[in-house]
Amino acid sequence: MITMEDIVREGHPALRQKAEELSFPLSKEEVILAEEMLTFLRNSQDPEISEKYGLRAGVGLAAPQLAISKRMIALLIPGEYEDDSPELEQVMINPKIISHSVEGVCLKDGEGCLSVDREVPGFVVRHSRVTVSYQDTTGKTYKKRFKGYPAIVLQHEIDHLNGIMFYDYIDENEPFALDDDISVLG
């Protein structure tokens, strides 16, 4: 199972590389990796398992965070209430933002990252809405629109495939500076 030891931290070259597209059919190892990434997110959100294995809760994970420079991400965004089904539970292969809104959004409390063992305060302004094409592990292609928190998480993960970290967007001099047309979420 994937644990925190498998997640590389800032300074590791994989976090600053452009990851390679995967070709289909996926290898057995790649299919297993996809399942393991989603399982990590489920475990990280489970009070008992996360406590037992010392997992930081995550709603997304990108293969480069495992020092695997491949364009694969996993997303597990809980529903609004405890017993709801997840808002988004998906492994995306070769995800690509094919269009996005002009409007911007950011999370009121900023962002964090499993590969960053420190707080980096500041607003991370992202596209409010994105249209993403991706494939699932069988190679089936999808084109879907996302908004709100899922859109933010998705952009954070796709950034990892391009060697971008959330704090790259934070203005060092004015971390909480905001243009007045940016909506703040959360």
Q: Which residues are near ligand SB7 by CB under 6 A? A: 58-62, 65, 111-115, 152-153, 156-157, 160
Q: How far apart are CA 49 and CA 40, in angstroms?
A: 10
| 113 near Ni ion (CB under 5 A) | yes
In whole angstroms, the minimum distance from the beta carbon of 156 to Ni ion comes to 6
Known binding residues are: 113, 156, 160
Catalytic residues: 157
What's the CA gap between 10 and 15, in Å, rounded? 7
Q: Interface with Ni ion by CB under 5 A: which range of 9-17, 70-78, 111-119, 126-134?
A: 111-119
> With respect to ligand SB7, which residue has the nearer C-beta, 103 or 109?
109
Nearer to Ni ion, 76 or 113 (CB): 113
Angle CA 45–47–53, to nearest 5: 85
Residues contacting 29, CB < 8 A, separation 6+ = none
SS3 of 36-57: the string is HHHHHHHHHCCHHHHHHHCCCC
Q: Count of residues binding Ni ion (CB under 5 A)?
A: 1
Residue 110 interacting entry, from ligand SB7, Ni ion, none, C-beta within 5 to 8 Å by type: none
The distance of closest approach from Cβ of residue 148 to Ni ion in the complex, given in angstroms and rounded to an integer, is 18
Instruction: Give least dist CB 124 to ligand SB7, A.
Output: 7
Determine, following the binding rule CB under 5 A, whether residue 19 of this chain makes contact with Ni ion: no
ω into residue 47 within 30 of 0, thus cis? no
| Of 28 and 118, CB closest to ligand SB7 | 118
Lateral strand order in the sheet of 141-147: 60-62, 72-77, 88-100, 129-135, 141-147
Binding-site entries for Fe cation: 113, 156, 160
What is the smallest separation between the CB atom of 24 and Ni ion, expressed in angstroms? Answer: 26
Pick what 70 binds: ligand SB7, Ni ion, none; C-beta below 5 to 8 Å, kind-dependent. none
Residues ≥6 apart with Cβ < 8 Å to 178: 106, 123, 125, 184
Q: From CA 145, how far away is CA 157, in angstroms rounded?
A: 16
Binding site for Ni ion (CB under 5 A): 113
